[in-house]
Amino acid sequence: MDIISNLAMGFSIALSPWTLMLAIIGCFVGTIIGALPGLGPSNGVALLIPISFSMGLDAISALVLLTSVYYGAMYGGRISSILLNIPGDEPAMMTCLDGYPMAKRGFASDALVISGVASFVGAFLATIGLMLLAPLLARVAFQFGPAEYFALYMLAFCTLGGIGSNNQAKAALAAALGLAIAMVGMDKTTGMPRFTFGELHLMDGVDFLVAIVGLFAVAEVFHFIETHGRDSAIGVKLGKITVNWAKMWSTRWAMLRGSGIGFLAGILPGAGASLGSFLAYMTEKSVSRDKATFGTGNPRGVAAPEAGNNAAAGGALIPMLTLGVPGSGTTAVLLALLLTLNITPGPLLFTERPEVVWGLIAALLIANVVLLLMNVPMVKVFVHILSVPSWILLPGVTMVAFVGIFSLTGSSFDMLLMVGFGVMGWVFRKLDIPTVPVILGILLGNSMEDNLRRAMVLSDGDWTYLFSSPISIGLWLAALLGFVAPIFLRAVLKKPALPATDDMSSD
Amino acid sequence: MAKDRIFGLFMIVLALGYILSATNIQTSFMSDPVGPRVFPYMVAAVVILCALVMVLKPDPDAEWPTLTMALKLAAATAILIGYAMTIRPLGFILPTIVVAGLLSYMINPRPVPAALSGIGLGIGLFVLFKVILGLGLQGLPRALMG
């Protein structure tokens, strides 16, 4: 068996004491980041990339550390959803719907345990799915030429804009702005500067890490100041953590269904974990006989979205690793990580650097087990961290953002640029313009243009070449569908409102 | 007054400027059929199209900050700009104490906890990054260090 021997190789890389220690630290830090309201997997990983890069970690160590943070943040998001009714990140929103009512009725411990186990089941199954599917897709991806890649990038932007936002025009605008920013710097083919306005710092282009940290982390700082940084007052009682096996067993099908749906949603480019947890919750509600109890503290309403959101996080790695096309904000940040480490995702990654792929997969499995151990018996530790007041937390996050960019580039110019992106992120949030397409545009812009130009070289300037193979026609049609269909489905896909908080814990 | 409209118009102006700037990109003799200008033109066209949609069909306005809050946010931006400019010449610790303290005060206007969190973060983060993680940070002003 290919997979078994590959996996054994992966574990031989990832099981050294040093990487194990990194995995444990990453899981711990990740869970904290996920649990803190306002910080989620994308800004957490974004903050840590520059720092781990400046620490001079090698590729495998950095990957292990940061994917542990990523998975940890996916686990941690549920803690603030359940205890505070504040989702730590967007995918954790659905967990609020039944998690917070459960906690209010005195079952906080059950909700935390069930959601922790559901996270494990979802992430574990998705990692297995990743192992089975990714090599197959990598083989298909070998048939992709420049025209197909160009169509694939269009597909990613279209589905991300279609599914992920409320207004197609705004999402497309955001993506185009990202692409426009990516054009800044020296043109690789001709060696001529573009849009640098004589500024030497811009010759290398805008560093995508500067943009990511600015748009995700610094923008959050402005948002926090504006909303007076709600202090996290825990309004529910949390007794001793005990495991209610019977209740957990009753949610087994919800976990499995949620994992399956989440995994599929994760594979779709542009969909990601938010859609995964949403669909898992809605499906669970529609197949169960006691629909009325959903939203009032049904344990299956906690298990399904948590399994779905973590399974989607695993599934989203498939298009990212095999095609280099991330499906969501967090995978976009992970793509940024790979590019920083000089690892180019794509089909060649599987044949030329199998140790990276399988080391990563082994690291994911290890992180999962560590996280299950950390998040069920030790969940109280993280609950205490939730009570860090925002007037310490927020300046801290700001400083970490600056230190990261400063130690990476050492230039004041990049820090100013980061503040600029922060202001931009805040304005976009006000105007309801998504920022993830901007990031995706900056990340993919150069290779999108490169593929277009290579396709034109192959066809000697004939633009119909872009639509000449069955694969590319299929991708273009899917892109069109992904962009247009959500307009009609919007009424069906309406998100339910968060449960009301009756006390001082939110505004 | 719809903010979407203002933003859309601003984006159209920006995109036109972008196109203008793109016309000045030099091509060299070893270019490809597409050249370095076409993709920027395409991107700018998409921006203009989307911005037109925003101008013609704006979404209802979100709640915008009051004047005091806007001033507060402007002050925060100024503080961060100042931080970006001073961290290099003055070293990490001093600007961090001041900036972290100011930000903390903006969220929770009590001077003593704000000052304490500034000092704590300035020194604590320096120890974490420099001593434990080994990043190349300068602690104190270069002039003092000789």
Q: Are A85 and A506 in contact (CB under 8 A)?
A: yes
Nearest-CA neighbor of B72 among A505, A221, A400? A221
A12: part of which helix (H) or strand (E)?
helix A2-14
- Cβ-defined contact of B34 to A400 (cutoff 8 Å): no
Tell me which chain B residues have a C-beta less than 8 angstroms from the C-beta of A170.
50, 54
**Nearest residue in chain B measured CA to CA from A187:** B36
B108 in reach of chain A (CB within 8 A): yes
B146 in reach of chain A (CB within 8 A): no
Mean pLDDT by 10 residues, chain A (507 residues): 82 85 90 80 85 82 87 85 76 83 86 90 92 88 88 87 78 93 86 81 86 88 75 61 78 89 83 78 84 84 89 88 82 86 86 87 89 83 79 86 87 92 92 88 90 89 87 90 78 65 43
Residue whose token pair is 């610790």: B93
pLDDT score of A503: 44
Nearest by CB to residue A391, choosing from B85, B108, B125, is B108
Tell me which chain B residues have a C-beta less than 8 angstroms from the C-beta of A187.
25, 36
Question: Phi then psi for A194, rounded to 5 degrees?
Answer: -130, 130
Q: Are A389 and B108 in contact (CB under 8 A)?
A: yes
User: How many alpha carbons fall within 13 Å on the CB side of residue A470?
Assistant: 1
ipTM score of the complex?
A: 0.92
Nearest-CA neighbor of A407 among A6, A21, A53, A41? A53
A:294-333 residues touching chain B, CB 8 A cutoff:
none
| pLDDT over 70 percentage in chain B | 93
Q: Which of A150, A173, A188, A407 to mutate to test the interface with B (most CBs of B within 10 A)?
A: A173
A173 in reach of chain B (CB within 8 A): yes
Tell me which chain B residues have a C-beta less than 8 angstroms from the C-beta of A176.
43-44, 46-47, 50
pLDDT score of B115: 92
A416 in reach of chain B (CB within 8 A): yes
Alpha helical stretches, state H, A250-324: 252-267, 272-287, 299-315, 317-323
What is the rounded distance in angstroms from the CA atom of residue A193 to the CA atom of residue A204? 9
Segment B112-115 long-range contacts (CB within 8 Å, at least 24 positions apart)? B113/A391, B114/A391
Nearest-CA neighbor of A371 among A128, A84, A118? A118
Tell me which chain B residues have a C-beta less than 8 angstroms from the C-beta of A191.
28
Measure A54 CA to nearest chain B CA, in Å. Answer: 6
What is the rounded distance in angstroms from the CA atom of residue A402 to the CA atom of residue B102? 16
Q: Are A324 and A339 in contact (CB under 8 A)?
A: no
Question: Phi then psi for B69, rounded to 5 degrees?
Answer: -65, -40
B:43-62 residues touching chain A, CB 8 A cutoff:
43-44, 46-47, 49-51, 53-54, 57, 59, 62
Measure A370 CA to nearest chain B CA, in Å. Answer: 23
pLDDT score of B74: 93
Q: Which of B9, B12, B24, B43 to mutate to test the interface with A (most CBs of A within 10 A)?
A: B43
Strand-pairing partners, residue A186, are A193
What is the rounded distance in angstroms from the CA atom of residue A135 to the CA atom of residue A130? 8
Is A505 among the domain residues?
no
Other Cβ atoms less than 10 A from the Cβ of B28: the count is: 12
A223 in reach of chain B (CB within 8 A): no
- At B57-106, the pLDDT tens digits run 888 877 777 888 889 899 999 999 999 999 888 888 999 999 999 998 88
pLDDT score of A408: 83
Residue whose token pair is 């903006």: B106
Q: Which are the contacts of B64, defined by CB distance < 8 A and separation ≥ 6?
A: A430, B3
**Nearest residue in chain A measured CA to CA from B56:** A169
Tell me which chain A residues have a C-beta less than 8 angstroms from the C-beta of B39.
179, 183, 448-449, 452-453
Tell me which chain A residues have a C-beta less than 8 angstroms from the C-beta of B31.
189-190
What is the rounded distance in angstroms from the CA atom of residue A25 to the CA atom of residue A363? 13
Angle between helices A470-489 and A168-182 (to 10 degrees): 140
Q: Are A159 and A479 in contact (CB under 8 A)?
A: yes
**Nearest residue in chain B measured CA to CA from A192:** B26
pLDDT score of A168: 85
Nearest-CA neighbor of A259 among A307, A317, A301, A306? A307
Nearest by CB to residue B54, choosing from A169, A177, A226, is A169
Measure A99 CA to nearest chain B CA, in Å. Answer: 29
- Neighbour-count burial of A342, counting CB atoms closer than 10 A to its CB (0-12 exposed, 13-18 middle, 19+ buried): exposed
Q: Which are the contacts of A55, defined by CB distance < 8 A and separation ≥ 6?
A: B133, B134, B135
To the nearest 10°, report the CA torsion of A296, A271, A39, A374: 70
- Cβ-defined contact of A430 to B62 (cutoff 8 Å): yes
Domain boundaries, chain B: 3-56, 67-145
pLDDT score of A286: 84
Tell me which chain B residues have a C-beta less than 8 angstroms from the C-beta of A180.
15, 18, 40, 43-44, 47
Residue A243: domain span: 2-489
Structure tokens at B96: 């961090």
- Cβ-defined contact of B107 to A391 (cutoff 8 Å): yes
**Nearest residue in chain A measured CA to CA from B108:** A391
- At B22-41, the pLDDT tens digits run 888 887 666 677 888 889 99
| C-alpha A361: how far from chain center | 17
What is the rounded distance in angstroms from the CA atom of residue B98 to the CA atom of residue A94? 40
Tell me which chain B residues have a C-beta less than 8 angstroms from the C-beta of A178.
none
- Neighbour-count burial of B113, counting CB atoms closer than 10 A to its CB (0-12 exposed, 13-18 middle, 19+ buried): middle
What is the rounded distance in angstroms from the CA atom of residue A214 to the CA atom of residue A414? 10
Amino acid present at B143: A
Nearest by CB to residue A391, choosing from B88, B92, B114, is B114
Amino acid present at A231: D
Nearest by CB to residue B32, choosing from A389, A431, A456, is A456
Buried/exposed code over A284-302 (b: 16+ C-beta within 10 A; e: otherwise): bbeebeeeebbbebbbbbb
Is A504 among the domain residues?
no
Looking at the structure of chain A, the number of domains it has is 1
Is A507 among the domain residues?
no
Nearest-CA neighbor of A72 among A41, A43, A50? A41
Strand-pairing partners, residue A214, are none
Q: Are A344 and A324 in contact (CB under 8 A)?
A: yes
Structure tokens at A258: 């949620």
A389 in reach of chain B (CB within 8 A): yes
Measure A190 CA to nearest chain B CA, in Å. Answer: 6
pLDDT score of A494: 62
Q: Are A192 and B27 in contact (CB under 8 A)?
A: yes
Q: Which are the contacts of A102, defined by CB distance < 8 A and separation ≥ 6?
A: A82, A108, A110, A111, A297, A298, A299, A302
Q: Which of B59, B77, B80 to mutate to test the interface with A (most CBs of A within 10 A)?
A: B80
Q: Which of B6, B32, B53 to mutate to test the interface with A (most CBs of A within 10 A)?
A: B32
Is A501 among the domain residues?
no
- Cβ-defined contact of A412 to B136 (cutoff 8 Å): no
A233 in reach of chain B (CB within 8 A): no
- Cβ-defined contact of B31 to A190 (cutoff 8 Å): yes
- Cβ-defined contact of B11 to A180 (cutoff 8 Å): no
Nearest by CB to residue A228, choosing from B96, B105, B107, is B107
